[in-house]
Amino acid sequence: MKVLVTGAKGQLGFDTVNELHKRGHMAFGVDREEMDITDAHQVEKIMQCEKPDAVIHCAAWTAVDAAEEPENMQKVYSINATGTKYIAEQCRKIGCKMMYLSTDYVFDGQGHMPWQADCKDYKPLNVYGKSKLDGELAVANILKDFFIVRIAWVFGKNGSNFIKTMLKLGETHDSLRVVCDQIGTPTYTLDLARLLVDMIETEKYGTYHATNEGGYISWAEFAEEIFHLARKNVKIIPVTTEEYGLSKATRPHNSRLDKTKLIENGFVPLPDWHDALERYLMEIGVRKVIA
């Protein structure tokens, strides 16, 4: 199968291209330099030339706070919504599969119950969430069959993420304030890439949620485990989102995603996030605690 992967230099795109190659698929990874998804003519030219059997659309604007800056808003929508629309239109013309990576931010993050994959009670709280929802709606409106996979708290080898930020801050701080009232589950791109390829090899279309297993935690609890496994003596001070008070974008408190639809459709869930974190710290060369 020939698969075009957008955002190939990012955390998820990089691992997805590698996973496709491992399985003998022809992976064609593109980033901004090879295919500017905000340019309809460029998207058409490359996709019509390559004629992939499937597209895994990982490219996105993911800088949540920067998305709130007035000078960035148009660009955020151009990438996350309009660019996704252009790709979906070409997938329809070519007749190839499309998988769109979305986010828990399409919901308002209220309550304590996990969000169901087919829930349509969309109430995004920020520009990033609104733009990603527009991308979802574009895919669903243009294509009859599609994959939409919502993920959360992503970390991988390429690019920046919460783990790298914590480890860097831990080099110069004995203690760190981390929010304790935003709840979710981390997602390791190495594990997620395996699942995405499992899915794209099927015709089990629909909207899914995918994070690592192991239950729901707060960012503060995640930070504590990061430093524990990295053998760093950094004290985590749990604070509320209001007490933290530095974010420009409003973030959801409830990022719990229900993943039962994966199991119902025969897909293997991602491993426990503790295990994922250990493997990730090994991947980036950080010494872990051996039990």
Residue where the block lists tokens 């059997």: 53
Tell me the sheet residues that pair with 272: 213
Helix, strand, coil percent values for the chain (each to nearest 5): 40, 20, 40
CA distance linking residue 217 with residue 214, whole number of Å: 9
Element (H, E) at 93: helix 83-94
Question: Which amino acid makes up residue 63?
Answer: A
Check 128, 188, 208, 280 and give the catalytic one: 128
Question: Which amino acid makes up residue 82?
Answer: T
CB atoms within 10 A of CB 204: 17
Phi and psi dihedrals of 57, rounded to 5? -95, 95
Active site residue 128: yes
SS3 for 227?
Answer: helix
Q: Which residues participate in catalysis according to the annotation?
A: 128
